[in-house]
Amino acid sequence: MFKFNAFTYIILLHQQHEPCRNSILVLLLMTSIITEYPQFFTATNLEWKKLLQPDKYKDIVIESMRFLVRNKRVKIFSFVIMENHIHLIWQTLPDNDPEAVQRDFLKYTAQRIQKDLQRNYPQVLSHFKVEAKDREYQFWERNALRVELRTHAVFMQKLEYIHWNPVKAAICKLPEGYKYSSALFYETGIDNWGFLTHYRD
């Protein structure tokens, strides 16, 4: 698997004669280039607190993923939402900064959950109060994990890890038995979430 990016094309342009440079320029302008490998992404709630235990907060995460896909910022190949962390395999689409996508994803989910806690569970909200200059409350641990998946074998290992997470946590007996996961999609081929991409596509 080769990772294409604009820098690669700039190097090629400098190395080629005029006719070849023109061909490369046409390719650069006319081809939609994915500039990132798929990534295994993990975000954990502050101090592993079970913030995502209520399904309505899992639904906020789902809503945010759907928004990113509909706005052509990422492809999402796989996910699982546990009670205190999430795992994804996603891929940033052209003209999108991976760090900005991650920031917006976590910021949106945090803001939505905070509003609901303020309205309905202020006593729970107090457990996420932090002494920080840039925020009053914190819901996600800083420095979320991102790992580029550069081979098919590593991709499949992470896909299996994601889908078996609920089984290992004794929540269900089979991966496809857990609702907030892409496991059923890979079992049936039916995307009930409306935003998943099969890794073969």
Q: Are 57 and 116 in contact (CB under 8 A)?
A: yes
In this structure, are 24 and 121 located in the same domain?
A: no
In this structure, are 101 and 29 located in the same domain?
A: no
Q: Residue 195 falls within a domain, yes or no? A: no
Structure tokens at 139: 């819901």
In this structure, are 53 and 12 located in the same domain?
A: no
What domain range is 11 assigned to? 1-33
Q: State the pLDDT at residue 13.
A: 41
Q: Collapse the DSSP code of 135 into the 3-class scheme (helix H, G, I; strand E, B; otherwise coil) and give the result.
A: coil
Structure tokens at 42: 């993990």
Q: Are 182 and 90 in contact (CB under 8 A)?
A: no
Instruction: List the CATH number of the domain containing 44.
Output: 3.30.70.1290
Q: Collapse the DSSP code of 77 into the 3-class scheme (helix H, G, I; strand E, B; otherwise coil) and give the result.
A: strand
pLDDT along the chain (201 residues), means of 10: 41 48 47 70 98 98 98 98 98 95 97 98 97 94 96 98 98 98 98 97 91
* Distances in whole angstroms, Cα of residue 192 to Cα of each of 127, 173, 181, 183: 34, 21, 10, 11
Amino acid at 165: N
Q: State the pLDDT at residue 22.
A: 54
CA 83 to chain centre: 17
Structure tokens at 82: 């546990």
Task: Determine the Cα–Cα distance for residues 67 and 95; give it in Å rounded to an integer.
Answer: 16
Q: Collapse the DSSP code of 91 into the 3-class scheme (helix H, G, I; strand E, B; otherwise coil) and give the result.
A: strand
Residues in contact with 113: Cβ distance below 8 Å, sequence separation at least 6, in sequence order: 51, 57, 60, 139
Single pTM value for the model: 0.83
Q: State the pLDDT at residue 35.
A: 53
Q: State the pLDDT at residue 36.
A: 72
Amino acid at 90: W
Task: Give the number of domains in the chain.
Answer: 2
